[in-house]
Chain A
Amino acid sequence: MEDWLLWLLVGIVLNILEIFFPGFIPACFGFGCFAAAIAAALDFDLTVQIAVFTATTFIVFLSIRPVFLKVLSRNTHTVATNTERLVGMIGLTLEEVSGLQGQVKLEGEIWSSRSDDGRRLPPGTRVRVLRVEGNKLIVTANGVHPSLN
């Protein structure tokens, strides 16, 4: 069997494996194998073939994340979940929220909170979540929000 054919075959098998075991690890080697197959087709010896395989795999490994972030993530929406989702939400203070403590109702759940600048916010104030620290919401008094009147 020809060397380049063997590389090609291994590359295809690796790419098939990628379908069953996602994580882009077999695909990296697959690309390396295709590159080595080209090297073999151009009649380089085995050492060069392996070197080409190694180099290509390494390059793919390094460039995969930027490529992914640029190209593939372009049409996937980033959906914030868990605590990230709460950032920017509007809640309602149930009791006075100070720089140390307070209770805010957010999405039907009551959270311990504190204001970011230490200002005292009276009960019934609409507040915006800036971030989550520990299990406390760090909130700030919400200005006029278009969706709320």
Chain B
Amino acid sequence: MQPLHWFVLALAVLVIALVIRGLRIVQQAEVVIIERLGKYHTTLTSGINIIWPFFDKPRKIVWRFLVPGAGGETSTYVLREMDRIDLRETVYDFPRQNVITADNVLIEINALLYFQITDPIKAVYEINNLPDAIEKLTQTSLRNIIGELTLDQTLTSRDTINQKLRILLDEATDKWGVRINRVELQDIMPPPDIRIAMEKQMRAERDRRAVILEAEGQKRAVILQAEGKREAQIAEAEGSKQSEILRADGEAAAIQRVANAEAEAIRAITKAVGEGGADPTKYLIALKYLETLKQIAGNTTNKVVFLPFEATGVLSSLGGIKELLQEKV
């Protein structure tokens, strides 16, 4: 009975081991590749699965995990082998790398890579160390594409870069059963001197715009001022013209009236003098002469009294006066 007892115990241990190793629950969106004696046998999908641990073994795949750095250090990637193959989209963040653009600027880019295993069998059997392969391939492809673009294009054409990259990478990763969905450039860092130059350019551009705007404003202001002046001058000229005309009209009317009055007076004098038989012209001249003299003499400010040079003229006019005053016999 003793040997049988040991045999049963051994059998129990065997069954325990079989159960522990043979039952596999695979989660949704994961698969396990099973090899039977080193040859591909089957792919376990989600749910409960039984394998025969004596000759079935899961094939492992190298996978990358982000390990957060201790004490605020940057997190690092660690490669691990695992037998579960994750079919979900995965993000890799690769370290900064230097890339030279078409216009020979050395820029630092930081890219994110989104990929997904579409065919787990190929991903296991067609490529060794898949994460590294994907990363290196993406980096070199990115170099290629950015090498064809200028710095300005690189900064603005993310979509173009993405599309080109995807087509390029699709061809390469097809046989690995991996699809690279998206490559996102996180940040593009131009070298410091280029950045300073870019800032200068921006500042200059803004300054230019400010100066232009100011000049425009001044131009408008000057034009407006000139227009205002013009209007004012025109109005003033109009006003003075009007007033001159009016004044002239007034003066003309006054002169007219004075002349009329004088004519009237002359007529009356003529009449009066003519009745006496004397020459009215001479009388008038004499009258004017005397008036003028009075004016000259009455100018008190002058120390000098002007007298006509021709005494004879004076006398002759006096003679005229005398003649005027002579009684006609």
Contacts and interface: CB of A to CB of B under 8 A. Distances in A.
Interface string B23-61: 101001100000000000000000111100000000000
Interface of B is mostly: helix
A109 interface: yes
B12 A53 contact: yes
Interface stretch (A2-10, A19-27, A118-126): A19-27
A133 B48 contact: no
Given A28-B23, A81-B29, A54 B11 contact: yes
Contact of A81 (B5, B18, B28): B28
A135 B119 CA distance: 7
B79 interface: no
A65 B88 CA distance: 25
Contacts of B78: none
B173 interface: yes
Contacts of A79: 28
Nearest to A60: B19
Interface in B91-105: none
Given A25-B20, A50-B8, A83-B87, A132 B118 contact: yes
Interface residues of B, number: 40
Contacts of B171: 112
Contacts of A29: 16, 19
17 contacts: A25-B19, A29-B19, A46-B5, A47-B8, A51-B11, A51-B12, A54-B12, A58-B18, A61-B22, A61-B50, A65-B49, A82-B87, A110-B166, A112-B170, A134-B177, A135-B118, A135-B178
A135 B23 contact: no
Given A50-B9, A132-B118, A112 B48 contact: no
A134 B48 contact: no
Given A47-B8, A135-B173, 18 more contacts: A24-B23, A24-B25, A29-B16, A47-B1, A50-B12, A62-B50, A64-B48, A69-B47, A79-B28, A81-B28, A82-B87, A110-B166, A112-B174, A132-B118, A134-B118, A134-B177, A135-B170, A136-B174
A57 B19 contact: yes
* Residue picked from B22, B47, B88, B181, most chain A C-beta under 10 Å: B47
Contacts of A147: none
Nearest to B162: A110
Contacts of A51: 8, 11-12
B15 interface: yes
B15 A58 contact: yes
Given A50-B9, A133-B119, A135-B174, A23 B25 contact: yes
